[in-house]
Amino acid sequence: MCGISGLVNCGDRESLARMTHVQAHRGPDDAGLWDRKFPDGSYIGLGSRRLAILDLSPDGHMPMCNEDGTVWITYNGEIYNFAELRHELESKGHRFASHTDTEVVLHLYEEEGPDCVRRLNGMFAFAICDLRSAAPTLFIARDHFGIKPFYYFHDAKKFAFASEIKALLQVPGIEAELDPEALDQYLTFLWVPDPKTMFRRILKLPAGHYATFSRGELKLTQYWDLSFPPADHLCARSEADLAAEVRERFRKSVEAQMISDVPIGAFLSAGLDSSSIVAMMARATNQPVRTYTITFPAKYRVGETTLDDPEVPTRLARHLGCENQRIVVDPDVTDLLPRLVWHMDEPTADPAIITAYLVCREARKQATVLLSGVGGDELFAGYRKHVAHSWAELYCKLPLSARRLAEHGFTMLPSLRGTAMKGRVRLAKKMARSASLEPVDRFIANCTYLDCGQKAELYSPDFAEQSGSDPAGAHRSAFSRVCDADFLHQMLYLDTKIFMTTLNLTYNDKVSMASSVEVRVPFLDRELAEFVAWNIPPKLKLRGRFLPTTKYILRQAMRDILPREVLQQPKAGFAAPVDYWLAHDLKEMVDDLLAPSQISKRGLFRPDVVCRFIDEHRAGRQDWSMQLWQFLTLELWIETFLDGRASKFESDYAPPVQVATA
């Protein structure tokens, strides 16, 4: 796992060195630069920070070149089928100097050009500089699901890229400017959907895409997309047969992703996804699997139904013969949150970033690679919004008068914060707002934290004029691409392409790399995902209507492997005690950073409306915990990147850089 960077016709070697320096946490084991100036005055440079996972020797140094130095690569990721590809390439005459998957990607590109990405099974983001033709060509690519990040800046003949935005901001001419449309999306969803970022003119290469840059022209190409069968597609295979194949394909994926030359472990919560991964890992090795479970002291757990019960993974680890380290954390969140905002690059208002960071930080003392259950909910239908759609279909059959009465009643409910009913009340209020809408609008509403009316009240007159187009445009476009599929599959496509890529995979990458940990995601094996999409019918993913069973076929596949306690465990998010923090640890920070004078200074929001959110939340009239977390995270992001306070974090990293020249 690594941090990559590169420049074309902008910056210089010093800029490239700063780009690698600021990403040192992504690769503490090695650093390197390669650059070349051409007779016409053009310039190309590649930078790398290396976290050594396969072939720990100096042979894995990057940027890496082919035998004659005409093709150079900087690479981030893991290719799980690299051994088979290497054998094939050797049979065609390619010679290898290392045992890395990086070199396999390099030679595969030599052999097949841009189509090489279609052969790769894994997670990756890389750039290859091809000097074999009259005009140098930069080839860039991002993996099928967007597991690894790739940010870029393009302006005429200038091009720059990196694993993290903070590296791009080291380049002269690339300024930190807020994108108003992206801010509108952030306030709608808690994060900014691809390909935008919160920074004007800095974009993300979409998942499943590659691009070429030559003679100042950037050409993007989509090489893969997840697809689903038509809604009337019939599956003739039995449930038992399908469960058996899901289990076997999943087993192979987990085993393939256990390849490593450094210690490996796994997240272990009380949930089905991580438990399934650990169970398969335990079957694949004779050594006890290292597992890590995070929990909070009892004071944090009051009224938080989303925090997992730590006793369940403890019992499961014992049942499977695994090691289990329970990580009890009581973090200084006032110190931690600003640092994580810097690591995330963009404001990401999901408090799970704190939980994920803490478990990675502690696990790094023993393991460099962790397997994660991200992707299981998107493949097999595990979210409450999938269940909510089923409930809404039944709800819409009630008489209109009964629905209006119910919606009014739910709207008037107090938040019941501090009780076990808090989550249910929040869901009921959200459903009251969305249940009577058409399916597409209902799904979008269930993903929304501030709706159009609330934002209209919130925005200052000046900012309201800049906020722009429909924030859910990417969602509607994605729905249109799978409009012939069953609606559950449409929701899963949206979650896979937008929610998972932009939020879950992004924060898993950023917070794990903040601790120099590589996170792998076995559910996102491309062949497994394609099989599940096309062969498992909706009724075997979400089973039943009134009290539907989520991820039904996965539960059946794991029925003889996992204890009943795990199979019947209700869904619990990888969450954090937001309510407690806002009321205690962060209370002073909220009062300071969201004070009327500070809100007025930014010119984005109306101070009285922000104050109303704070007052209603503290009085218990409404649960605005996620919205307050949004405002707080945004202000910290502005201070860090727009006010220029990022340097206090950048100074933590001062590694040496090796320089290669052409």
From 2, 129, 322, 447, the catalytic residue: 2
Q: What is the pLDDT of residue 152?
A: 98
CA angle (307, 309, 312) in 5-degree steps: 145
CATH number at residue 365: 3.40.50.620
Structural domain includes residue 609? no
Question: Cβ atoms within 10 A of the Cβ of 454, count?
Answer: 16
Whether the pTM exceeds 0.85: the reply is yes
Q: If you search the block for the tokens 């808090």, which residue do you land on? A: 422
* Mean per-residue pLDDT of the chain: 92
SS3 9: coil
Closest by CA to 22, choosing from 178, 177, 168, 197, is 168
Q: What percent of the chain has pLDDT over 90?
A: 78
- Kind of pairing, strands 369-371 and 518-520? parallel
In sequence order, the β-bridge partners of residue 32 are: 48, 658
Q: Is residue 332 domain-shared with residue 369, that is, in the same domain?
A: yes
H or E element, residue 353: helix 352-363
Q: If you search the block for the tokens 């970022």, which residue do you land on? A: 197
Q: Under a CB-based contact definition with an 8 Å cutoff, are residues 154 and 218 in contact?
A: yes
SS3 217: strand
Q: Is residue 167 domain-shared with residue 280, that is, in the same domain?
A: no
- Kind of pairing, strands 137-142 and 209-214? antiparallel
Q: Under a CB-based contact definition with an 8 Å cutoff, are residues 47 and 33 in contact?
A: yes
Q: Is residue 219 domain-shared with residue 291, that is, in the same domain?
A: no
Q: What is the pLDDT of residue 302?
A: 61
In which domain, by residue range, is 144 found?
A: 2-225
Q: Is residue 70 domain-shared with residue 201, that is, in the same domain?
A: yes
381-421: pLDDT as tens digits: 999 899 988 888 887 878 878 877 877 777 777 766 666 66
Q: Indicate the pLDDT class of residue 662, thresholds 50, 70 and 90.
A: very low
Q: Which of 554, 576, 598 is the last residue of a domain?
A: 576
Q: What is the pLDDT of residue 652?
A: 65
Q: What is the pLDDT of residue 304?
A: 59
Q: Indicate the pLDDT class of residue 654, thresholds 50, 70 and 90.
A: very low
Q: What is the pLDDT of residue 303?
A: 57
Q: Is residue 156 domain-shared with residue 220, that is, in the same domain?
A: yes
Q: How far apart are CA 83 and CA 67, in angstroms?
A: 19
Average pLDDT estimate for 617-625: 90
Q: What is the pLDDT of residue 661?
A: 44
Average pLDDT estimate for 591-603: 97
Q: Is residue 215 domain-shared with residue 108, that is, in the same domain?
A: yes
SS3 222: strand
Encoding tokens for residue 32?
Answer: 């390197």
Q: Which of 576, 594, 623 is the last residue of a domain?
A: 576
In sequence order, the β-bridge partners of residue 71 are: 130
Q: Indicate the pLDDT class of residue 25, thresholds 50, 70 and 90.
A: very high
Q: How far apart are CA 103 and CA 40, in angstroms?
A: 30
Q: Indicate the pLDDT class of residue 640, thresholds 50, 70 and 90.
A: very high
Structural domain includes residue 438? no
Cα dihedral 154, 156, 157, 159, rounded to 10, equals -10
SS3 429: helix
Structural domain includes residue 280? yes
Q: Is residue 143 domain-shared with residue 183, that is, in the same domain?
A: yes
Check if 235 is active-site.
Answer: no
Q: Under a CB-based contact definition with an 8 Å cutoff, are residues 185 and 347 in contact?
A: no
Q: Is residue 529 domain-shared with residue 553, that is, in the same domain?
A: yes
120-175: pLDDT as tens digits: 999 999 999 999 988 899 999 999 999 999 999 999 999 999 999 999 999 999 99
Whether residue 655 has pLDDT greater than 50: no
Structural domain tally of the chain?
2
Encoding tokens for residue 314?
Answer: 């403890």
Q: What is the pLDDT of residue 428?
A: 73
Q: Is residue 320 domain-shared with residue 249, that is, in the same domain?
A: yes
For 595: left if phi > 0, alpha if psi spans -120 to 50, otherwise beta; the answer is beta
H or E element, residue 388: helix 384-395
336-378: pLDDT as tens digits: 999 999 999 999 999 999 999 999 999 999 999 999 999 999 9
Average pLDDT estimate for 32-51: 95
Structural domain includes residue 556? yes
Structural domain includes residue 627? no
Whether residue 468 has pLDDT greater than 90: no
Residues present in the chain in total = 662
Structural domain includes residue 626? no
Structural domain includes residue 89? yes
Q: Which of 576, 608, 640 is the last residue of a domain?
A: 576
CATH number at residue 55: 3.60.20.10
Q: Is residue 87 domain-shared with residue 159, that is, in the same domain?
A: yes
Q: Is residue 51 domain-shared with residue 158, that is, in the same domain?
A: yes
Q: Is residue 286 domain-shared with residue 319, that is, in the same domain?
A: yes
Whether residue 659 has pLDDT greater than 80: no
Structural domain includes residue 374? yes
Question: Cβ atoms within 10 A of the Cβ of 584, count?
Answer: 13
Q: How far apart are CA 64 and CA 27, in angstroms?
A: 15
